Structure 1
Amino acid sequence: MAWFILISLILIGVVLLITEIIFVPGTTLIGILGLVFSGVGVYYGFVAFGNESGWIILSLTLLINFALLIYGFRSGIWTKFALKESITSRSFDDRLLGLEIGQQGKAVSDIKPFGKVEFGENIYEVKSDSGFIRVGTMVFISKLEDNKIIVKS
């Protein structure tokens, strides 16, 4: 029974450490728990089997942890979990297509300083350059910058 407890504690520690490294790097909680389980297993080895066996258990535990870590790096298992693609698209890239400075539209909501204006058949969120603008007022585009539409009445 003592060997079962010892092996269980050390294996749980190793599994938690590997989980920390592979699946949830940076959280440290799982890694600390893995170290605690491994440490408790080694301590249990010292208590249950004496100093000589305890040092052997400590050496084997360290050897197993380092061997699994080195094997993980060399085997390329990390590449299976690594993100290989990146998102290159941006939101609202073509939002301002078809709009130009001086174009007229009609406010479909109060603009104070943000609101909605209808240009043609499309409704856009805009910012007022001249303060409050009531619904139904005709406005025109004064600036188009950084995906923002600035209007004046």
Structure 2
Amino acid sequence: MLTIALLLLFGLLFLAAEVIFIPGTTVVGFVGFALLAWGVWLSYHDLGTPAGHYALAGAGALAGMVLYLGLRPKNLARAALHSVSEGSVRDVRRADVPAGTLGHTLSALRPAGTVLFGEERREAVTRGEFVDAGRAVRVLGIEQNRIVVEGA
């Protein structure tokens, strides 16, 4: 009798933990459902049909109540993320280094390296030619997220 009660109790606790505290993992929910099913089966097997019916009805009613209380919109809102990130990332696809801009290489471009445009260090590539460090380069354009330059 104690084993059946503990199986049903832990099954409900695992089910409540799945619904209320850690939604979306499904493993804890499956374990809770398995414990509930095992407890109901043991109650039918060891205590007889009337006790099994009571265990099934009680476990079903309590599991339904846990699901109803856990899935109410008010309770779900407590677990939802409400803050909005206002941060941004500088995207090299934007034309902040327009075609024709002049810069100087900080490292050798073989064919990629670092170029200084005004005060900004940026990664750039050539179309295959090598450019030594300290040389002037001119931006040809931006292709596939890369600044393409040539020796000026």
Partner of 1:60 in structure 2?
58
Alignment of 1:1-153 (within 5 A): 2-3=1-2, 5-74=3-72, 76-93=74-91, 99-144=97-142, 148-153=146-151
Q: Distance in 2 between matches of 1:18 and 1:91?
A: 40
Q: Distance in 1 between matches of 2:84 and 2:143?
A: 26
Q: Distance in 2 between matches of 1:149 and 1:39?
A: 62
Q: Distance in 2 between matches of 1:129 and 1:18?
A: 60
> Given residue 42 of structure 1, which amino acid in structure 2 is its aligned partner?
V
What TM-score, normalized by structure 1, do the two folds share? 0.79
- The answer to whether the 8 A contact 1:130-1:152 is kept is no
Pair 59,132 (structure 1): closer, same or farther in 2 beyond 3 Å: farther
> Given residue 79 of structure 1, which amino acid in structure 2 is its aligned partner?
A
- The answer to whether the 8 A contact 2:93-2:142 is kept is no
Structure 2 gaps of 5+ residues are none
Pair 70,141 (structure 1): closer, same or farther in 2 beyond 3 Å: same
Number of equivalent positions: 151
> Given residue 13 of structure 2, which amino acid in structure 1 is its aligned partner?
V
- The answer to whether the 8 A contact 2:19-2:70 is kept is no
Structure 1 gaps of 5+ residues are none
Identity rate, percent = 28
What TM-score, normalized by structure 2, do the two folds share? 0.80
